[in-house]
Amino acid sequence: MLVTVSSQPAPSEASFLTTLYPWLHLSLYALQPQAHPISRADGSLTGSPHLSELSINSQGGVAPTNATLSPNLSPDTKQASPLVSPLLNDQACPRTDDEEEGRRKRFPTDKAYFIAKEVSTTERTYLKDLEVIASWFQSTVSKDDSMPEALKSLIFPNFEPLHKFHTNFLKEIEQRLALWEGRSNAHIRGDYQRIGDVMLKNIQGMKHLAAHLWKHREALEALETSIKGSRRLEHFCRDLELQKVCYLPLNTFLLRPLHRLMHYKQVLERLCKHHPPSHADFRDCRAALAEITEMVAQLHGTMIKMENFQKLHELKKDLIGIDNLVIPGREFIRLGSLSKLSGKGLQQRMFFLFNDVLLYTSRGLTASNQFKVHGQLPLYGMKVEESEEEWGVPHCLTLRGQRQSIIVAASSSRSEMEKWTEDIRMAIALAEKSNGPTPELLASSPPDNKSPDEATAADQESEDDLSASRTSLERQAPHRGNTMVHVCWHRNTSVSMVDFSIAVENQLSGNLLRKFKNSNGWQKLWVVFTNFCLFFYKSHQDNHPLASLPLLGYSLTIPSESENIHKDYVFKLHFKSHVYYFRAESEYTFERCTPGQDPRISSPETQDDWVAAIPFMQSPLQCKLARSAQSSPGALHPRSRPPKVKGLWLVSLTHDG
């Protein structure tokens, strides 16, 4: 990685990228294909607010230059990409090239200020997420009688108090930041350059809302049970998910309050590490950390079960030809794209690994765009054999079940196959300790006996299928879909439950400046990073995103001098021919995202702070350590790992070998 450091850095300012860069690595480095993922694949921005509206294009064309509301351009291809939002259109957004330069001297430079600023920006997004349930969902339900009254009384009374509380919490944080920045008439600012007292007061207040948090598991289970028993309610919730404000699966928003507690805990850990014991804010920060740690510990088991339950139901919506996916004791482990060897050669399939069974599917050529199950391999009694030499296929494995054997290969890289191999072996070990073989999941006989024409059509499917005249959403009108499944299919990669769990605990929000490769100006955007995706807003006041960029498969680097950026604190996202530049607003951010690259920014203190802020960043070594930690009984979920493993992740971060 080539890093360009300004010789005259500007003073620090709060910035979104402070913790974004390492978390982008979770999406970009560890999960990206190392070779050619899929021929004709495209990684352009998706112009709809929904992750499920992934629309990918690879053809050529000429971009309009005078239409403000014309479709957006992929940055270095000649065809208009599926992005239709004027927000991310190079021609439509005002230039903000230097307008931020004069603001940099107005803000403090203490790291604690930046941490407090992160609490503020992410709290704004959290409030918007609460409003999806407390406001949008509730108001829509009030106009329809498809939801039972008992279910309404279980969901909404538990979200309204949370929304009210956090509205006041955000006001207090912003008032404190205004005093900290000197944007008030306070005569003495020193007493206000802290955040621990505000955090302590409000976390103590949150403990009085614990009863509402305990109800969220019951609410999630009741909602899914009611949906299963009512076709009308199922269609109602599906229609709501297609609304712009519901930019993630509906049941994901029911988990947000629990995940928010994890973020408070991480923030307070960073503050306690930053402040010396003699600091005026240290005692309050430490007390607040003790309070939130107690709450998280009490809800720990509930969070693990709810995340798995939510993910199983999310996957169920994306699969056809299967019964009883959600059963007690089943745990999701990994999903992703692999090639299956058959008489016709290597055929792309989507695999879903659970703790008792491995499913393989292909994407159906239907209006729903769901994945059709081809077969299941119970893990009980399965053997895993490396078979590259036998079949002459790189990164190849043979999975020998008691009734069926298949040969699979990871076309992207050896590291991708290593992830699958270790997770499958771990799952086999778990299955061997269970009560025997898994029951049948398929709704009918495995559809591998379909006609040759249908098989050929499915196997030749490419990313161009999502860039037809209609958008993905229009083609998927009856089914919102799990976009992560579709992204993995098109980017030829995989994600695990470990990745999902960590990602939801580290959602970030804030302003970034964005530039296309062939443009000169920078556009200021409000950006939310969650679920391996960047969501773009015109401002933080918007109710829904206007565009999004799924990050799986993208690479993140620092621009070289030959790219003529001529700005500080810029990072580059690129996938094949698609290149996007994003610019942070402070030297502090730049130092936080480039440890070890320059003596001035790679001190042990900087590295420790960076790692403390980011509890998980995967490199090949870290992937291996993380999966090794999973292999012990009861350690399937990332929060079950012993703390000592976390310390081992420092090895590749500090470049000590």
103-126 pLDDT per residue, tens:
555 566 788 998 899 999 999 999
∠ CA 419-425-429, nearest 5°, is 145
Higher pLDDT, 25 or 617: 25
Q: Which amino acid is at 315?
A: L
H-run or E-run covering 652: helix 650-653
Average per-residue pLDDT for the chain: 73
pLDDT above 70 covers what percent of the chain? Answer: 63
Specify the pLDDT at position 192.
Answer: 82
pLDDT tens for residues 270-279? Answer: 999 999 999 9
Please name which of 346, 393, 399, 411 lies closest in space to residue 375, comparing C-alpha atoms. 399
In this predicted model, what pLDDT tens digit does every residue of 439-460 receive, in sequence order? 666 554 444 333 333 333 333 3
Write out pLDDT tens, residues 321-373.
888 899 999 999 999 999 998 888 889 999 999 999 999 999 876 677 889 99
Which range, 16-20, 517-521, 584-588, has the best average confidence (pLDDT)? 517-521
H helices of 182-281, where? 196-207, 210-229, 231-241, 250-253, 256-274
Instruction: Please report, rounded to a whole number, the percentage of residues in the chain having pLDDT higher than 90.
Output: 44
Strand ranges (E), 531-584:
533-537, 547-550, 555-557, 570-575, 578-583
pLDDT at 23: 47
The whole-number pLDDT of residue 80 equals 34
| Rounded Cα distance, 399 and 387, in Å | 10
Residues 232-255, mean pLDDT to the nearest whole number = 92
In sequence order, which ranges of 317-444 are alpha helices (DSSP H)?
388-391, 414-432
| Among 522, 467, 512, CA closest to 90 | 522
Strands 405-409 and 332-342: antiparallel
Contact 173, 120 (CB under 8 A): yes
Neighbour count for residue 391 (Cβ, 10 Å): 14
What pLDDT, on the 0 to 100 scale, is given for residue 350? Answer: 96
Please report the pLDDT score of residue 426 as a whole number: 96
Any idea which residue has 């098989």 for tokens? Answer: 455
pLDDT value, residue 547: 92
Total H helices, total E strands in the chain: 21, 16
| Gyration radius from the chain CA atoms | 25
Q: Are 130 and 39 in contact (CB under 8 A)?
A: no
Q: Say how far apart CA 143 and CA 138 lie, in whole Å.
A: 9
| 181, 107 contact by CB (below 8 A) | yes
- Lowest mean per-residue pLDDT among 298-307, 459-468, 529-538: 459-468
Summarised one tens digit per residue, pLDDT across range 502-511 is 888 778 888 8
Worst-scoring range by mean pLDDT, 123-127, 493-497, 520-524? 520-524
Residue 600's identity, in one-letter code, is R
Q: What is the DSSP letter of 438?
A: P
Q: How far apart are CA 136 and CA 245, in angstroms?
A: 8
Instruction: Please give the single-letter amino acid code of residue 566.
Output: H
Q: How many CB atoms lie within 10 A of CB 510?
A: 27
Using DSSP, state whether 67 is helix, strand or coil.
coil
The mean pLDDT value for 299-309 works out to 93
- For 447, the 3-state DSSP assignment is helix
DSSP 499: H
132 burial level (CB within 10 Å; 0-12, 13-18, 19+): buried
Residue type, 32: Q
The two beta strands, 332-342 and 383-386, are: unpaired
Tell me the two tokens of residue 362: 């292909």
Question: 73, 69, 66: which is closest to 85 by C-alpha?
Answer: 69
Looking at residue 446, its pLDDT comes to 42
Chain centroid to CA 289: how far? 25
**Cβ 441 vs Cβ 360: under 8 Å:** no
For CATH 2.30.29.30, list the domain ranges present in the chain: 17-92+511-618, 327-479
pLDDT attached to residue 258: 94
Mean pLDDT of the region 195-206: 97
What pLDDT does residue 259 have?
94
DSSP string over 149-168: HHHHHHHHHHHHHHHHHHHH
CATH 2.100.10.30 fits domain 327-479: no
Mean pLDDT of 254-269: 95
Q: What integer pLDDT is reported at residue 305 of this predicted model?
A: 94
pLDDT for 539 beyond 80: yes
Per-residue pLDDT tens digits for 540-564: 999 999 999 999 989 988 899 888 8
* Domain at 105-316, CATH from 1.20.900.10, 1.10.3470.10, 2.160.20.80, 3.40.50.850: 1.20.900.10
- The three-state secondary structure class of 643 is helix
- Strand 396-400 relative to strand 383-386, pairing: antiparallel
- Identify the residue with better confidence: 637 or 477: 637
Q: Say what the pLDDT of residue 63 is.
A: 35
The Cα 523–Cα 93 span in angstroms is: 6
User: Which amino acid makes up residue 298?
Assistant: Q
Is pLDDT of 33 > 90? no
CA atoms within 13 A on the CB side of 486: 31
Question: Residue 307: which of 220, 227, 247 has the closest Cα?
Answer: 220
User: Structurally, what CATH architecture does the domain formed by 17-92+511-618 represent?
Assistant: Roll (2.30)
Angle of helix 111-131 versus helix 17-28 axis, rounded to 10: 60
Q: Where in the chain is the domain with CATH 1.20.900.10?
A: 105-316
Q: Residue 301: in which H helix or E strand, if any?
A: helix 282-316
Average pLDDT over residues 410-417: 83
Separation of alpha carbons 268 and 265, rounded Å: 5
Query: Taking residues 161-168, what's their average pLDDT?
Result: 97
- If you search the block for the tokens 């804010």, which residue do you land on? 281
pLDDT in tens, 369-401: 889 999 999 999 999 998 877 777 888 899 999
* Distance from C-alpha of 174 to C-alpha of 185, rounded to nearest angstrom: 15
Query: pLDDT at position 145, please?
Result: 85
b/e 348-382 (16+ beta carbons within 10 angstroms → b):
bbbbbbbbbbbbbbbbbeeebbbbbbbbbbbbbeb
d(CA 417, CA 296) in angstroms, rounded, equals 35
